[in-house]
Chains A and B, each alone.
Chain A
């Protein structure tokens, strides 16, 4: 339990650091650490597949890509868009409303027995695979259309138009 609280504290801390740092590169690095703490959470929950995927795909691939893009963009103070105080104010109010709603609904929850899972191995790769290929076969297959769409779109947007002959 104490491990959980420690890791939870770290995730919240680094998530806040992501928002509050001025430097975008630092911000991304903090986000990487936040994702790493999520990975630890998944391991604590015995969801090994999620942990590995989160580690490799999110932390490894996507965030590093993100970092490269940010460095290539060369952001600095001058290019930062100015937001009026009104917009900031509205943003704070809207965000706080969401926070209050969620916090209130979580607060009303009764705490169930936290450690007892019906099947503690539910997050293991073999169980996940069984569910994916039996109950969730259709969404699993249809995801291929989603990926194909994204692929076609990426190529379409990135490709140079050939000169008209």
Chain B
């Protein structure tokens, strides 16, 4: 709980710093606050967790680990934000504050123990992002992204609320423990309202996750938003969404598996194919990464299809691997776009000659996204696939392997452009924070690929 208070106060402090024109202090203060949050979570680790505030939040290992992942990803995003916002607008403090608010929402989403908290967490997370998507006021694409995200997001909130209301109508409580009690104690007499509620919750959570057929906003919003905000959406928000999804279903709905697993199974397969097939034909790297994030949402859903005790670990591993690589992918795109003004694959041509280290980091990220051995992405995919195989869903694994092969095709286009398409170009200047972020992300990706046990035993 102290972590959530720290985060909210930190955001308000940042707002005040903006008021007093202390622009140079913004980034250090935010980073310091985030590090303090991680430390506070670390202190909590290992203590027996109990639901706090009449069962509103529960900081068990699951919540703590995913919160720490969200906070660390935000630290990396904020490091990339140095020199990024200063050019576009004078309201930098507000941007930082909104990012921190959004992070607060994400942390609530992963640690809720009451559906009211889930709703408020998702809303805080999304409302801040609706605005952040549209901060380039003069840019038409950014306006479109903000409007689209807002309208679709508000609509999906309606589904979430209706679902929660139906669950409440059936079970008489918002509390996860009470809902679980209701499901376990009436194996025969579960109200039909409850099933409708589960379906509506699947709709709204799949929307937040960006899984097909509720993915239509993803490419336009990811493409139109400023790249830094896209990184935040593709990493922190996705982490929070899948963790909240898993938490709800793992806590409450396991006895009703026969009902919702087929639904999610179909959605997973559609998501994989939609994401990968459309990513293949893209010409812009930003759009390619947006579609690839849809397909990764599909891989993440594997853990819920084959829900069990190991699901949390595989989601944790997969989401960490995916987020680190995404940060490198989009982060390098910021640099390339700044240097060439283009987001197309051709903008990466000949990068390896002039920026060998940057190219190496991008290559590692792409290999990890594609799931090549010795990277974290491979271990993540391996854990997901083996979890599903243990559930005897052979067809799903076969389809997923086909999709992984498609993924290799489009991720390698970036690598081929960098290494095998020579072009005379100037070296891109990579500033200090970017170096740190790329180095850390690439290093962790490789280390986790070789020693996966560091992360797998946590939850």
Q: Is the interface of A mostly helix, strand, loop or mixed?
A: helix
3 A-B pairs with the lowest CB-CB distances in the bound complex, closest first: A153-B131, A105-B192, A138-B53
Residue A115 at the chain B interface, CB threshold 8 Å: no
How extensive is the interface on chain A, given as a class?
20 to 34
17 extra A-B contacts, CB within 8 A, seeds A143-B120, A149-B124, A156-B91: A134-B54, A138-B52, A138-B117, A139-B56, A139-B120, A142-B117, A145-B104, A149-B98, A149-B127, A149-B128, A152-B15, A152-B94, A153-B98, A153-B131, A156-B98, A156-B131, A157-B131
Question: Is A146 touching B199 in the complex (CB atoms < 8 A)?
Answer: no
Chain A 125-160 interface residues, beta-carbon cutoff 8 Å to B: 134-139, 142-143, 145-146, 148-150, 152-153, 156-157, 159
Question: Is A137 touching B53 in the complex (CB atoms < 8 A)?
Answer: yes
Residue A104 at the chain B interface, CB threshold 8 Å: yes
Bound state CA distance, A101 and B162, in angstroms? Answer: 13
Residue B137 at the chain A interface, CB threshold 8 Å: yes
Q: How far is the CB of A136 from chain B (nearest CB, A)?
A: 6
Bound state CA distance, A11 and B19, in angstroms? Answer: 48
Residue B97 at the chain A interface, CB threshold 8 Å: yes
Question: Is B89 touching A135 in the complex (CB atoms < 8 A)?
Answer: no
Chain A 82-130 interface residues, beta-carbon cutoff 8 Å to B: 101-102, 104-106, 108-109
Bound state CA distance, A106 and B170, in angstroms? Answer: 11
Bound state CA distance, A150 and B132, in angstroms? Answer: 11
Known: A104-B192, A152-B15, A152-B97. A145 touches B124 (CB 8 A): yes
Residues of B close to A152: CB separation below 8 A: 15, 94, 97-98, 101, 131
Residues of B close to A159: CB separation below 8 A: 91
Q: How far is the CB of A42 from chain B (nearest CB, A)?
A: 15
Question: Is B123 touching A146 in the complex (CB atoms < 8 A)?
Answer: yes
Q: Is the interface of B mostly helix, strand, loop or mixed?
A: helix
Bound state CA distance, A142 and B53, in angstroms? Answer: 12
Residue of A nearest to B194 (CB): A105
Residues of A close to B105: CB separation below 8 A: 145
Residues of B close to A139: CB separation below 8 A: 56, 114, 116-117, 120
Residue B191 at the chain A interface, CB threshold 8 Å: yes
Residue of A nearest to B53 (CB): A138
Residue of A nearest to B191 (CB): A109
Residue B291 at the chain A interface, CB threshold 8 Å: no
Question: Is B98 touching A146 in the complex (CB atoms < 8 A)?
Answer: no
Count B-side interface residues using an 8 Å CB cutoff: 39
Chain B 45-89 interface residues, beta-carbon cutoff 8 Å to A: 52-54, 56-57, 89
Bound state CA distance, A159 and B195, in angstroms? Answer: 45
Question: Is A150 touching B90 in the complex (CB atoms < 8 A)?
Answer: no
Known: A145-B104, A162-B90. A153 touches B130 (CB 8 A): yes
Residues of A close to B98: CB separation below 8 A: 149, 152-153, 156
Residue B134 at the chain A interface, CB threshold 8 Å: yes
Q: How far is the CB of B264 from chain A (nearest CB, A)?
A: 16
Bound state CA distance, A159 and B90, in angstroms? Answer: 11
Bound state CA distance, A146 and B120, in angstroms? Answer: 8
Question: Is A105 touching B56 in the complex (CB atoms < 8 A)?
Answer: no
Residues of A within 8 A of B (CB): 101-102, 104-106, 108-109, 134-139, 142-143, 145-146, 148-150, 152-153, 156-157, 159, 161-162
Question: Is B131 touching A142 in the complex (CB atoms < 8 A)?
Answer: no
Known: A142-B108, A152-B97. A108 touches B128 (CB 8 A): no
Interface string of B108-127 (1 = CB under 8 A from A): 10000010110010011001
Residue B393 at the chain A interface, CB threshold 8 Å: no
CB pairs A–B below 8 angstroms (15 shown): A102-B196, A138-B52, A138-B57, A139-B116, A139-B117, A142-B108, A143-B120, A145-B101, A149-B101, A149-B128, A149-B131, A153-B98, A153-B127, A153-B128, A156-B131
Bound state CA distance, A139 and B105, in angstroms? Answer: 12
Q: How far is the CB of B218 from chain A (nearest CB, A)?
A: 18
Residues of A close to B199: CB separation below 8 A: 101
Bound state CA distance, A138 and B196, in angstroms? Answer: 28
Question: Is A101 touching B196 in the complex (CB atoms < 8 A)?
Answer: yes
Q: Contact check: which of A101, A135, A148 meets B54 at CB < 8 Å?
A: A135
Q: How far is the CB of A120 from chain B (nearest CB, A)?
A: 17
Question: Is B135 touching A105 in the complex (CB atoms < 8 A)?
Answer: no
Residues of B close to A108: CB separation below 8 A: 192
Chain B 428-445 interface residues, beta-carbon cutoff 8 Å to A: none
Question: Is A156 touching B193 in the complex (CB atoms < 8 A)?
Answer: no
Residues of A close to B44: CB separation below 8 A: none
Known: A153-B131, A156-B131. A109 touches B192 (CB 8 A): yes
Q: How far is the CB of A79 from chain B (nearest CB, A)?
A: 16
Q: How far is the CB of B175 from chain A (nearest CB, A)?
A: 9
Residue of A nearest to B196 (CB): A105
Residue B8 at the chain A interface, CB threshold 8 Å: yes
Question: Is A106 touching B193 in the complex (CB atoms < 8 A)?
Answer: yes
Q: How far is the CB of A46 from chain B (nearest CB, A)?
A: 18
Residues of A close to B193: CB separation below 8 A: 105-106, 109
Bound state CA distance, A145 and B192, in angstroms? Answer: 35
Q: How far is the CB of A40 from chain B (nearest CB, A)?
A: 20
Residue of B nearest to A142 (CB): B120
Residues of A close to B53: CB separation below 8 A: 137-138
Question: Is A145 touching B94 in the complex (CB atoms < 8 A)?
Answer: no
Residues of B close to A135: CB separation below 8 A: 54
Residue of A nearest to B121 (CB): A142
Residue of B nearest to A150 (CB): B127
Bound state CA distance, A157 and B136, in angstroms? Answer: 9
Bound state CA distance, A134 and B55, in angstroms? Answer: 12
